[in-house]
Amino acid sequence: RTALSTAPPPEKKRWLRAYLEVQRLQAPPQRRSEKPNWDYHAEIQAFSHRLQENFALDLLKTAFVNPCYIESEEAKRRELGLDKDAVALQLQDNTRLGDQGLRFARAYLAQCFEGAYPALPAKGVEALVNFLTSQELVSYVAQNLSVQDLALCRDFPVPPDVLQRTFLAVIGALLESSGPERTGIFVRDFFIPQLIGKDLFEIWEVVNPMGLLLEELTKRNISAPEPRITRQLGVSTVLPLYFVGLYCDKKILAEGPGETLLAAEEEAARVALRKLYGYTENRRPWDYSKPKQALAAEKAISSN
């Protein structure tokens, strides 16, 4: 028998229990704030301690308030027949903080990538930043940080774009309370690990890798690549495998496999681009240590 701690007291009639269990399982999901044992202020304090950041609590509380919540509350109050002064809520919503957070996150991530991969063109950096601030990723991160319990919203379960806006508003609140350095470290710690295991061309859609490769090589004054078949297996079967190598001035640039010759050449161009931009699988992992400027500042302050 399962332990029912706060469920309704177990029915004495045996033949009712199965029906009540089915009713309990089919009930629509409820917000955590409507279930017993919920203290909003304590939860917000625990949230800021969990992320190891000092938030200004009132800024954080405004970051969780969504415009749809304010509208639904005002509609409820109007239905109850209150005066117009009482209808208007005293709450600010999180659109301003959300925009601030989004702008800061995009600028900081773009700066990070330009510093780490200087050869990557602007379109590539933009594609990476768009992927990291996309709805699915941000709502996934927010859900696993319990933002969906604390966010005040009209619908439940919270839709992903509301989660994205709330999390970016949290970043904006952190920016206003702790300054850009700490917020930068926060963004780095939570967004950049989502790139682990991902390939550059999964994130950045490139239609013509050969053309892009030709542009890159002309920028570096290297002659056009010459494709040659390096290895081939099973040419006359249903599943042939060709390895096409790209040679510049008879020196190998990259080699890529493929089912047909054209597919192999395109894959070789992609491998060459990955090598040129420095986004291979065996690159140095991201540096998550404390920033050196902060350490230098601390040393300067402690020595004085």
Partner 1 sequence: RYVRQLQRLQLLFSPTAADARGARQFVEEAAQDFARQHPDVVLYVSPHSGPGPAPVLRAEYLNGTVREELIASKTSEEIVQLATKLANQSGLDIIRIRKPFHTDNPSVQGQWHPLTNKPSILTVQGPRWQPQ
Q: Does 39 bind partner 1 (CB under 8 A)?
A: yes
294: CB partners within 8 A, 6+ apart: 181
- Buried (b) or exposed (e) across 258-287, using 16+ Cβ within 10 A? beeeeebbbbbbbbbbbebbebeeeeeeee
Q: Minimum CB separation from partner 1 for residue 243, in Å?
A: 7
Query: What does the alpha-carbon distance between residue 294 and residue 300 come to, in Å, rounded to a whole number?
Result: 10
Q: Does 229 bind partner 1 (CB under 8 A)?
A: yes
Q: Does 294 bind partner 1 (CB under 8 A)?
A: no
Question: One-letter amino acid identity for 5?
Answer: S
By beta-carbon proximity to partner 1, the closer residue of 3 and 27 is 3
- Site stretch for partner 1 (CB under 8 A), options 60-68, 127-135, 210-218, 223-231: 223-231
- Site stretch for partner 1 (CB under 8 A), options 4-12, 82-90, 198-206, 266-274: 4-12
Q: Minimum CB separation from partner 1 for residue 84, in Å?
A: 38
Q: Does 140 bind partner 1 (CB under 8 A)?
A: no
Residue 15 tokens read as: 């033949």
Q: Does 50 bind partner 1 (CB under 8 A)?
A: yes
Q: Does 27 bind partner 1 (CB under 8 A)?
A: no
By beta-carbon proximity to partner 1, the closer residue of 101 and 245 is 245
Residues lying near partner 1 in the complex (CB under 8 A): 3-6, 36-37, 39, 42-43, 45-47, 49-52, 144-146, 149, 189, 228-233, 241, 243, 245
